[in-house]
Amino acid sequence: MIIHSAGHPPILRLLTLSVLLLVLGDLGMAFLHCFPRALMHVPGLLVFLAALFLMWFYRDPERRATAPPGALLAGADGRVIQVLRREHIPELGGPGTQVSIFMSPLDVHVNRVAAAGRVAAVDYRPGKYLMAFHEKSSELNEACLLVIEDEAGRRTAQRQIAGFLARRVVCSVEPGQRLERGQRYGIIKLGSRMDHFLPAAVRVDLRTGQRVKAGESILGEWT
């Protein structure tokens, strides 16, 4: 199992702490004979289980897009919680569709690019930590907006949004960088959300409640 690099430091810290606690448990048994042997190892085992959970959370599976060239792909794993037609999307400067995906702590949290193109803008915004499925989380929570412009000059955008448990949004790309559709570009730590902003020229057939996978599931297609 591949683990995203953002997970390496916290996992190593927990594994180290787990080993230390287990060693201390062995030492403690030499002096505290009144405590059951298994009880002395409980703290170390609990920390080890926490490390296993982080390994699962930071997993980074390979994905292969089989969608047609004109399709835009989901940028996050999770459940579609909103498909909203909007008269004006500031991120695009015109009408379009907002597709919001909620990521639970059990979903893969590595984010991928919905469409190939040049990074036109990266805009980080500090903010609150409302529940990721809260309507106002898109406007108020810590977030990072990525705008992609393809060779035809068409723009799409996607915003990583921190949730109640998530306390950090990681975006590892810069303006001017060329990205391929489905390419990894960041991660959000723990429960979170991603909003996609698609121009009116994109036909969206998704429905709320539908589950999608980053880099594989189709958000819509250019018309």
Cα–Cα distance, 156 to 96 (Å, whole number): 10
Mean confidence (pLDDT) of the chain: 87
Which residue out of 18, 100, 138, 192 is catalytically annotated?
A: 192
Instruction: HSE, CB side, 13 Å, CA atoms: give it for residue 32.
Output: 13
Percentage of the residues of the chain whose pLDDT score is greater than 70: 85
Which of 4-18, 162-176, 181-195 shows the highest mean pLDDT? 4-18
Res 139 pLDDT > 90: no
What mean pLDDT is predicted for residues 60-85?
92
Res 217 pLDDT > 80: yes
Cβ–Cβ under 8 Å, residues 132 and 170: no
Res 137 pLDDT > 80: no
Least reliable range by pLDDT among 109-123, 129-143, 177-191: 129-143
What mean pLDDT is predicted for residues 83-102?
94
Cα–Cα distance, 86 to 199 (Å, whole number): 10
Res 213 pLDDT > 60: yes
Expressed in percent and rounded to 5, the helix, strand and coil fractions of the chain are: 25, 40, 40
- pTM (predicted TM-score): 0.84
Cα–Cα distance, 185 to 162 (Å, whole number): 16
Which of 52-66, 71-85, 123-137, 160-174 shows the highest mean pLDDT? 71-85
pLDDT at 157: 97
138 is annotated as an active-site residue: no
What mean pLDDT is predicted for residues 93-122?
94
pLDDT at 111: 96
Cβ–Cβ under 8 Å, residues 143 and 162: yes
pLDDT at 44: 87
Cα–Cα distance, 63 to 57 (Å, whole number): 17
> H-helix or E-strand containing 136?
none
What mean pLDDT is predicted for residues 166-192?
87
Single out the residue of 71, 127, 77 nearest to residue 105, CA to CA.
77
Cα–Cα distance, 47 to 53 (Å, whole number): 10
Res 212 pLDDT > 90: yes
